[in-house]
Structure 1
């Protein structure tokens, strides 16, 4: 039960009617015993049969829902207008950290019959999309493989700079009103806030747009049916190599996502298709560069069972660096798939017990995991090894307030 901290009535000057204000404290405390085991194997026959495993058992947080602490408020301005704010911080309840910072969301807004204008740091349209059409959302070891792939650097240097994939700072968003016959959506723009100098020949002039985000989402929901599409572009700079070999390349990452769900009552099915392209500037005037493509899809289902819910999903992602075959031989594209199965048992409207099992299988150099646990081992006995599989389980309790 949410707790209202302050309710005040303020009289405006000139005899204008009083406005109603409220501030609400809310949050989630989620803890789980989690085990993750990541296995690496020898490459191309070197060190035949060599296999090494890195594993860890821990008390973790955010297995079912992200642990958080937040404050939100609204003021009725009259005439159908309302002002609001939302401050939400991640909570590390397993170890008491980190220090309170409202990095999950920090927005102020104005809403009315026209919709809502929202300013500040918030989730992007892309992650709203993927959380909606994945039974596990982006939480715990069962969470979205597609989101993980879009935030994990490939061997060719793709996607590692996509820090605004899930959340963007300095963002202005507009959300459609809720009375459009089932249609919903939003558009958003995040400023890069870089200093511009002119003329361009001025020493140290910065003409990049690194940090800028543009996105949007449009959907339609009617009864048990829901379908939506999203698009986003993040302007990025990606540094590969170290020391004197370090190279920074500018570019942008474009993502399109289509998702849908249908609730049959006895089961709810989910489907999602996603495509991203990481385009980089050439290394020099004599080189050409191809974008790294990432294609992913997901199929999922939830089945209510008494006070509980069974969750299951299968996802696959595939990278394509668009390189021409070397000496007539094509290099196999990195790819990974993920299978997740879980059960949530609701003890009340606010408290639930849960358990999840998940496994990621990597091929051809992909290095994805179940989203937690230790890093893959890359060398063993002076022999290079590469990621093979990531397996995990977690059992926990979640309480909301």
Structure 2
């Protein structure tokens, strides 16, 4: 604390001394009690049996992601401004993370009439639609099912292709939620309501001509998003391509196409999200044929203002199709989520959420290290479930609850 106070004081003095500059300390602390339960049953040539698992935890980020950050701008004159943004995740239930890890966002930018050029770690262009058009803001048990499945797909494939990249699991891996080493360009605000973003992330891997093989393009990301917002309406389309592996057998790329929309009717705000994600693998040689697994998802949701609070609800479905070409190789997940947020003030709110998930033919989703990305769309406890691709237990349903309080500063 003795070391932090002088730094904060210096920042405050600097912001006061330079009238054309500003530095802001901001953050969110979100704490709650969450309970998860799953039910599994046997499939394949095994004795019929059922299994259930339960877990109760003191959680964080059930309504809004706990974080702490610093952001600032300097007016350079002539319509130009420089800015920085350093934002760290906070696990306030244990005190972990914090300012030692700016994994949520770490950028330096230059903006003006031309728009904004942003350098560093940030959200990917293809993630924004899954987040912006989610009534639950991709937090807690009500999180958009599409976002959960896609993040877990990227995480599981990252583990299968040589370990984690671009941060810890909680921060998103292999460029679904966020990407490092990125150059991002944002259009300036336009009177027509059109907005847009283009983004490229360097893989930053050593590529030696005298050493064939390796994964020189792993971590590479390219994506773009374009949208239109006017009055109560907002609609956007995005595409992103992330390279998970590249070598002598061919590349593995996750290609994401999604579209989202919202409309504020006054009495309620409606949201919609559609996504198609393809996991494309192999194709370098006839012995390594190209294979494409596909995840198609959609979500519809509402926010309904009621007095000092908001009722939230959504229904989502993600369908998986295995690229091996075999019949009956699909799987599907449905998710129903309901919640309520009661604002005690502009900064503080109480919240409660409940969700139920149902899975059909989950064993058909390709297992990676005993865990499948589609099944991981259930809360954390399902990672402990026991099942294999040849028979055993597979999760069939899950229920989750969040009750908590959120304070922003």
- Please say whether Structure 1 and Structure 2 have the same fold, judged by a TM-score greater than 0.5: yes
CA distance in 2, matches of 1:226, 1:270: 10
The number of aligned residues is: 374
| Pick aligned residue for 1:169 from 177, 180, 199 | 180
Partner residue, 2:340: 343
Partner residue, 1:235: 243
Distance 1:9 1:27, change over 3 A: same
Mean Cα deviation higher: 305-314 or 286-295:
286-295
CA distance in 2, matches of 1:102, 1:287: 39
Please say if 1:195 is aligned against 2:200: no
Mean Cα deviation higher: 36-45 or 279-288:
279-288
| Pick aligned residue for 1:179 from 190, 194, 198 | 190
Q: Contact 1:151–1:160 at 8 Å: present in 2 too? A: no
Mean Cα deviation higher: 217-226 or 274-283:
274-283
SS of 1:131's equivalent? helix
Instruction: Tell me how far 1:317 sits from its aligned partner.
Output: 0.4
Q: Contact 2:243–2:254 at 8 Å: present in 1 too? A: yes
Please say if 1:216 is aligned against 2:215: no
Please give the root-mean-square deviation of Cα atoms over the aligned residues, in Å. 2.6
Instruction: Tell me how far 1:290 sits from its aligned partner.
Output: 1.9
SS of 1:172's equivalent? strand
Distance 1:379 1:189, change over 3 A: closer
Q: Contact 1:301–1:312 at 8 Å: present in 2 too? A: yes
Partner residue, 1:252: 253
Please say if 1:387 is aligned against 2:395: yes
Please say if 1:5 is aligned against 2:8: no
SS of 1:368's equivalent? helix
Instruction: Tell me how far 1:391 sits from its aligned partner.
Output: 0.8
Please say if 1:136 is aligned against 2:136: yes
SS of 1:348's equivalent? coil
- Equivalent runs, 1:2-401 vs 2, <5 Å: 5-6=12-13, 7-9=15-17, 20-44=20-44, 46-48=46-48, 50-99=49-98, 100-153=100-153, 163-198=174-209, 202-204=210-212, 206=214, 208-237=216-245, 250-282=251-283, 285-325=286-326, 330-365=327-362, 366-378=374-386, 384-401=392-409
Partner residue, 1:244: none
Distance 1:195 1:185, change over 3 A: same
Cα deviation digits, residues 102-129 of structure 1 (max 9, x gap): 0000000000111100000001112221
Q: Contact 2:216–2:246 at 8 Å: present in 1 too? A: no
**TM-score (norm: length of structure 1):** 0.87
Which structure 1 residue ranges, 5 or more long, are not aligned?
11-18, 240-246
Q: Contact 1:141–1:372 at 8 Å: present in 2 too? A: no
Distance 1:390 1:238, change over 3 A: farther
Cα deviation digits, residues 212-257 of structure 1 (max 9, x gap): 0001110001111110000000011299xxxxxxx99731111000
Structure number with larger C-alpha Rg: 1
